[in-house]
Amino acid sequence: MKIALETRGVVKQFGGLVAVNSVDLVVPENSIFSVIGPNGAGKTTFYNCITGFYTPEKGDVLFFGESILGLSPDQITYRGIARTYQNIRLFSTMSAIENIMVGEHSRLNANWAEAIIRTPRMVKEEKAAVEEARRLLNFVGLTGLGDQAARNLPYGAQRRLEIARALASRPKLLLLDEPTAGMNPNETAEMVDFVHRLRDELGIAILLIEHDMRMVMGVSDRIAVLDYGEKIAEGSPSEIQNNPRVIEAYLGKPMSEYEA
């Protein structure tokens, strides 16, 4: 099995604060890898290091064996990494289907001159783009809502639309930042199924940040735990559940240890 993403000793500092401290991760192809940790553990900063919004001070980020360190976010998207956001960030006045078509940007080629002349190639590409957007809309279960403005969609639909937009670039690695934030248990269960489908039907690797433990334990092949920017544990869901350092990071030390 190939390795989709590998980080080696990634360090990101903001002034004196070390937000991400020497984190090593290996995400294999066709797997679901979760990163968990208490609030402020550096999970989103770590995401930003991978997607090129931050450049780490130290370490390296490898995508299918090639370093993507120092590339700009749009270049990294071209390589095949897509992401969603913790607080939904759709293009709110554009329609759902247009949002997906923006996501297709990196796969399309028409430039401004072709757009004005409407070359046959551009027309064909545009037609295919609309078709693909319809297909993705259907894939995430939003058929019929395509012409609605993104901001008018219900909350759960917006979450799924964001994933459809990310998928539109045909990524090899998908980064999901808390996809179940604000969802009820039913919706969360649906999301678990959906993430499984993403892995099984599309065969892509998924890196997941999540707070909902039911979701994390149900969906992940492997889990890494961050605390104060450092990786304190990594393993299968059951290993993580019983790891004393993880329990300590979330719940604090048992009273007996303070007394000792």
What the block records as the tokens of 101 is 């078509």
List of E strands, 119-187? 173-177
Q: Is residue 144 near another protein by the rule CB under 8 A? A: yes
**Closest residue by Cα to residue 40 from 253, 215, 249:** 249
Binding mask 156-175 for another protein (x = CB under 8 A): ---------x---x------
Q: Is residue 111 near another protein by the rule CB under 8 A? A: yes
What amino acid is encoded at 103 in this protein? G
- Per CB under 8 A, the list member of 89, 121, 124, 197 interacting with another protein is 89
Q: CA-to-CA distance for 161 and 167, rounded, in angstroms?
A: 10
Binding mask 23-62 for another protein (x = CB under 8 A): ----------------------------x-x---------
DSSP-based three-state secondary structure for 44: helix
DSSP-based three-state secondary structure for 247: helix
DSSP-based three-state secondary structure for 1: coil
Q: CA-to-CA distance for 238 and 63, rounded, in angstroms?
A: 28
Q: Is residue 72 near another protein by the rule CB under 8 A? A: yes
* Buried/exposed code over 244-255 (b: 16+ C-beta within 10 A; e: otherwise): eebeebeeeeee
- Per CB under 8 A, the list member of 29, 126, 190, 248 interacting with another protein is 126
Q: How many residues does the chain have?
A: 260
Q: Is residue 124 near another protein by the rule CB under 8 A? A: no
Site for another protein in 226-245 (CB under 8 A): none
Q: Is residue 101 near another protein by the rule CB under 8 A? A: yes
- Per CB under 8 A, the list member of 1, 116, 251, 255 interacting with another protein is 116
Q: Is residue 137 near another protein by the rule CB under 8 A? A: yes
The DSSP H or E segment spanning 63 is strand 58-63
Q: How far is the CB of 174 from another protein (least distance, A)?
A: 12
DSSP-based three-state secondary structure for 234: strand
Pairing mode of beta strands 230-235, 173-177: unpaired
Nearer CB in complex with another protein: 142/224: 142
- Per CB under 8 A, the list member of 23, 97, 163, 224 interacting with another protein is 97
Q: How far is the CB of 92 from another protein (least distance, A)?
A: 6
Q: Largest Cα–Cα distance in the chain?
A: 79
Q: How far is the CB of 134 from another protein (least distance, A)?
A: 6
Q: Which residues of this chain interact with another protein, rule CB under 8 A? A: 51, 53, 72-74, 77-78, 82-83, 85, 89, 91-98, 101-103, 105-106, 108, 110-112, 115-116, 118, 122, 126, 129-130, 133-134, 137, 144, 146-147, 149, 165, 169
